[in-house]
Amino acid sequence: MSKRVALIGLVAGVGLATLGTGTAEAQWSFLQPPGMWWYWGSVDGCASITKVPNPTTNPALLRCDIQLTRIETLCYNPNNHDVTPGVAGARVLVSSAIKPSDITDKKKGKADVCVGVDELSLGAETLCVNRNWIPKLALTQEFVATCTTEKCTGTDPLNPCATTVVKDTKRCACTLPSGYSFDNMPTPCSDPKGIGCVPYDCVELDIFGNPTANSCQLQ
């Protein structure tokens, strides 16, 4: 399972309402399409962002607020095992600073930034019916994510992202394709653009949580 970031993520899509700042500064925006896409590895997401400033002189980050709505877990006690759906509604926050190596087109300010979550890092209290058991496997079937691009505004040079300003937002509801289970686990992959990755089926949500006509898949 991917451990790019020991947390979980979600949201993605095509088309999105840009949040204004009241200044003439150019808005960063999720590239359309695909904006952001999600694939299994445990739960990993990547965003394509445009108009990103130089991250060396203008720190910024991608932040995702993920709500796990259906997760299957396999937990062991000292003598037996049990399968439980886990705790629906577990919320995880994950973020990744935009690095110079994330810039794929300096002229256009385009960046590809990824975040990820290893469900087992959530621990027995979230994943098992008994907090003293040991979680062995976890498979997220459904989640909802809200992701934002944020300009870092902190004055501490060692922690400039202590305070931020939101530049753009995307929301998506995602479901793992049918047929996957502990007996037929998806194949993890390190590159979401690579062959063999298992993408979540994701639909974009508006600010009220209603599905739009847009997909959140890599086009």
**pLDDT tens, position by position, 4-13:** 333 333 333 3
pLDDT along the chain (219 residues), means of 10: 35 29 51 76 88 90 93 85 78 93 89 90 88 89 93 92 92 93 85 75 90 76
Which residue type, as a one-letter code, is found at position 138?
A
The predicted pLDDT at position 23 comes to: 34
CA distance 219 to 214: 11
Question: Is-above-0.85 flag for pTM?
Answer: no
Among 4, 209, 211, residue whose Cα is nearest residue 121: 4
Domain positions in the chain are 29-214
**pLDDT tens, position by position, 146-176:** 999 999 999 998 999 999 999 989 899 999 9
